[in-house]
Amino acid sequence: MSNGISFTGLSSGLDWNSLVNQLMEIERLPLQRMETQRSNYSSEKSIWQQINTKLSAFDTALADLKLDATFNSKKVISSKEEIVKGTADSTAVNGKYTVEVVSMAKVDRYVSDTTFTTLGSSGNLTINVGAESLSISLAAGDDANAVATKINQAVSNKKISDTTFKGVTATVVGGRLMIEGVNTGAANTLSFTDDQGGVLVGDLGFYDSAANRLQTAADSHIKVNGLDVYSDSNEVKNALSGVTLTLVKQSLGETATIEVKNDVEKTTAAVQKIIDTYNDLINYINDQTKLDKDSKTGGTLKGDTSAKRLMDRLRFDLHNSVAKVGAYTDLSQIGIKSSDKTGVLTLDTSKLTAAIEKNPTDVKVLFFSGDTTKPGVGDKLDKFIDSYVKAESGVFAQKDKNYDSIIKDLDKQIESFEARMELREKNLRAQYLAMETALAQLNSQGNWLAGQLAGLTAQK
């Protein structure tokens, strides 16, 4: 559309402005087609980018099946978690064990004497923590709060140069100074000395007596299948290979049953994830490529052969039998099947669980065999997917470049066409204006001649 003043047919009686607008609408029809093409290509590009994202998510889920930890994970089940719990790594041996917590590991704990209010003299207090020691400078007049603050600050300062140092913690409870070790175990007992001949220790009342030593550092003691096991912690790692037992409370005369077994749920969840991500991809492609034969309408990628090739290849690699490395050669043997109509996968959890419980390694090598001469289902899929998702040279990267090139070319065509249409409209308006001007001049001359003729007639 033109800008500025427009002229109607004052002389001709024609609405040139309306005529020009109608002519330009006709001449701009190719522009509408180009803009529709650009919009369609842009939509297709977005859809392929979404397919890329969904295929990458499937590939990521598939990668988890390469990991030994996905198939060799173990878990610990306790019959009485209020007594003992546990975790296990992949080296743990499956089995059942009885555990009795005879005694828990403890820290050393001291409290100042009831007569302590403030220190009567200054000096250095040394706290020995097992084989380590900590020196604190104290002053006459320090009360329980001041001493606690100085002890904790000394611990923090030492940790800067000695990151392994655990030390002690000091608090004030009921007005009395309480000091306790951080680490449990009989080797982590506390003792106190000073450089004032025992005056500071005497003021504080840190004596090895029932009144001042509230708790004595001790190792934990458990019985596993009747065998005595001792540890300096309540996180017992030396009872069962690959298993950490967490002691919760003492259970004299009461046992809990600990079972170490394969973590079937973790493996099943990993397999379910590849099914979910695959189905998400296939359902999306099905939606974008569907075609109603009667109405000839459908998804944006209807009739796109490259989308069909992608689905066909994925289905082929998923359902084609592989060379035998373990017990299985086909996904259906572990409970994974496909719908003939839509291609989505379904999982028979009980069948997969049975396969994992029998031998998780057989399930793993069905996906990733570790043998390049006998690739598993995952090996084949991984290689094919990589050809699509590779950053620079993959199919998706090339599609992106192609769409960008087409859209860029269309943008140039649209820009050029719009410039031509603007010039065309400007020329048309100039032509019609010239015609109106010429007609106005003719009309003026005609009027003049008519006037002259009328004058001559009047003189006769």
The pLDDT of residue 195 is 96
The pLDDT of residue 446 is 66
CATH value of 109-215 in 2.40.128, 2.60.40, 3.90.25, 1.10.3470: 2.60.40
Q: Please state at what angle helix 395-459 crosses helix 377-389, rounded to 10 degrees.
A: 30
The pLDDT of residue 456 is 66
Is the entire prediction scored with pTM above 0.85? no
Please state the domain extents for the chain. 32-69+265-397, 74-105+220-262, 109-215
Is 376:368 a contact under the CB 8 Å cutoff?
A: yes
The pLDDT of residue 459 is 62
The pLDDT of residue 278 is 97
The pLDDT of residue 444 is 66
Structure tokens at 215: 């708790």
DSSP 217: -
The pLDDT of residue 24 is 81
The pLDDT of residue 166 is 87
> How far lies 394's CA from each of 181, 288, 314, 350, in Å?
60, 21, 16, 38
Is 80:246 a contact under the CB 8 Å cutoff?
A: no
At 269, give phi and psi (nearest 5°): -65, -40
The pLDDT of residue 59 is 95
The pLDDT of residue 94 is 93
The pLDDT of residue 80 is 98
The pLDDT of residue 10 is 47
The pLDDT of residue 5 is 44
Instruction: Identify the three-state secondary structure at position 234.
Output: coil
235-236, strands of its sheet edge to edge: 84-88, 243-247, 235-236
- Tens of pLDDT, residue by residue, the chain (460 residues): 444 445 455 445 566 778 878 888 888 888 889 888 888 889 989 999 999 999 999 999 999 999 998 999 999 999 999 999 999 998 999 999 999 999 999 999 999 999 999 999 999 999 999 889 999 999 999 999 999 999 999 999 999 999 888 889 999 999 999 999 999 999 999 999 999 999 999 999 888 778 899 999 999 999 999 999 999 999 999 999 999 999 999 998 999 999 999 999 999 999 999 999 999 999 999 999 887 776 667 788 888 889 889 999 999 999 899 999 999 999 999 999 998 788 899 999 999 999 998 999 999 999 999 899 999 999 999 999 999 898 788 888 888 899 889 999 999 998 888 888 888 888 887 777 777 777 667 766 666 666 666 666 666 5
